[in-house]
Structure 1
Amino acid sequence: MRPADQGGRERYLDAALSVLLDRGVPGLTVRGVAEAAGASTLSVYARFGGRAGLLDALYERTFDSLRELLEGLPPSSRDGVADLLHLALEYRHFARESPTRYALMFERPVPGFDPDPGLRSAVLRTTFTLFIARVQRVCPPGADARSAAYRLWTAMHGLVGAELMMASRRPLPDWFIPPTEEANEQMYRDGVTAMMAGLGLRNP
């Protein structure tokens, strides 16, 4: 792809991400993205082939954002467990920063949209390789780091997913924890720490 074409594509993806963050999934139409980019709907079709192609490209962009966050974490220290907990807390912040973006990555908020299988495999592999590497450093000898990383991620995903779901509705007075940022962060921290301990993840 020529630099000019790549720049044009990025312009549309920036517009699509802006629409997603500002208007949510209902705004993710070819017309809505074209308007946000200050362009015609025909130009969106020319670059992405339609809404499905645009959504695939936006799906890839959202995972790029998560990968960039993981790549930007501080270098590994002697305390690999603390490093992994820091990663988990940054992951929670990423999800809370934009629940709509997070839903596009891990749920099915757009009816009928199923990302291309090859694309899904590529973005998950590229992004989660960084996560697995952090888990590998604290795995006990002989343990399967990929399996441990998956179990830890499902705990992280479940905790933050429940938090986002509850935050989107009126608070319940008799819920497990108070509807506050402090209580939710502590529950997440405790849950992740417990899962790490249960998996036997520890500093060598």
Structure 2
Amino acid sequence: MATRHGDIRPTELHSRERLLQAALTVLLEQGVAGLTVRGLAEAAGSSAIGVYTRFGGRTGVLDALFERTFELLRDELSKLPPPSGDPLADLLAFGAAYRAFALESPARYAFMFERAVPGYEPDKDLRFQARCASYDLLARRVRPAVPPGTAARGAYLVWTTMHGLISLELTHRARTPPPGWFLQPGDGSYDRIFRDGITAILAGLRA
């Protein structure tokens, strides 16, 4: 792996991996607030100097963590069966896996897709890899479901619908519903609205 922080020597891979696993654990258990050099060093049983030596500082850790989280998402999406020929069923299956990944750890999802860490901007090459690990996989499933020449636009509209529904779901799950809110708390309500959203956007794109 090579990023803006340079190549990684093979002799450093083991200790680097230990620190990276600690960073992932901190993210899952403490959220982005725990992603400090001192906090990561303590979680890994290392020292702040060790973090700087292996990652070049906090930004290097965050870049490595950004890459790892999208690898985990890609691994989950790769478990999906091949497209069945039913575009709606294929997109709903993709969406369900994507949503399950988000619900498993809202803090991880926020780190991946929102500016959850003030001042941190992922390395541009890692952002390209992240797109390949998620968005491009979705685009392949959208292409046969929309009219010729509209695949790029269609993929973006499906992704923003899916991503928006998930982000709002995470927000509402963390709060008490406002008076008169049409969605009742519970998995069933969120399942239905998510399926309805994807179904509606695909129907519109195909019309």
Task: Give TM-score scaled by structure 2 length.
Answer: 0.90
Q: Does the CA contact (< 8 Å) of 2:28 and 2:105 recur in 1?
A: yes
Q: What SS class does the counterpart of residue 68 from structure 2 fall into? A: helix
Q: What SS class does the counterpart of residue 179 from structure 1 fall into? A: coil
Tell me the CA shift for residue 4 of structure 1: 4.5
What is the CA deviation profile of residues 148-201 of structure 1, one whole-angstrom value per residue up to 9, with x for unaligned ones? 111100000111111111111222231121121110111111111111111118
Q: Does the CA contact (< 8 Å) of 2:135 and 2:159 recur in 1?
A: no
Tell me the CA shift for residue 7 of structure 1: 3.1
Equivalent residue for 1:185? 191
Equivalent residue for 1:154? 160
Structure 2: gaps (5+ residues): 1-7
The number of residues matched between the two structures is 200
1:36 aligns with 2:43: yes
Counterparts of residues 138-149 of structure 1 (less than 5 Å): 138-140=145-147, 142-149=148-155
Q: Does the CA contact (< 8 Å) of 2:165 and 2:194 recur in 1?
A: yes
State the AA in 2 paired with 1:113: Y
Tell me the CA shift for residue 18 of structure 1: 0.3
**Consecutive aligned runs of 4 or more in structure 1 exceeding 3 Å deviation:** 1-4
Equivalent residue for 1:200? 206
Tell me the CA shift for residue 70 of structure 1: 1.5
Equivalent residue for 1:16? 23
Counterpart of 2:56 (choices 49, 52, 66) is 49
Q: Does the CA contact (< 8 Å) of 1:132 and 1:146 recur in 2?
A: yes
Equivalent residue for 1:66? 73
Structure 1: gaps (5+ residues): none
1:173 aligns with 2:158: no
1:163 aligns with 2:169: yes
Q: Does the CA contact (< 8 Å) of 2:71 and 2:133 recur in 1?
A: no
Q: Does the CA contact (< 8 Å) of 1:70 and 1:131 recur in 2?
A: no
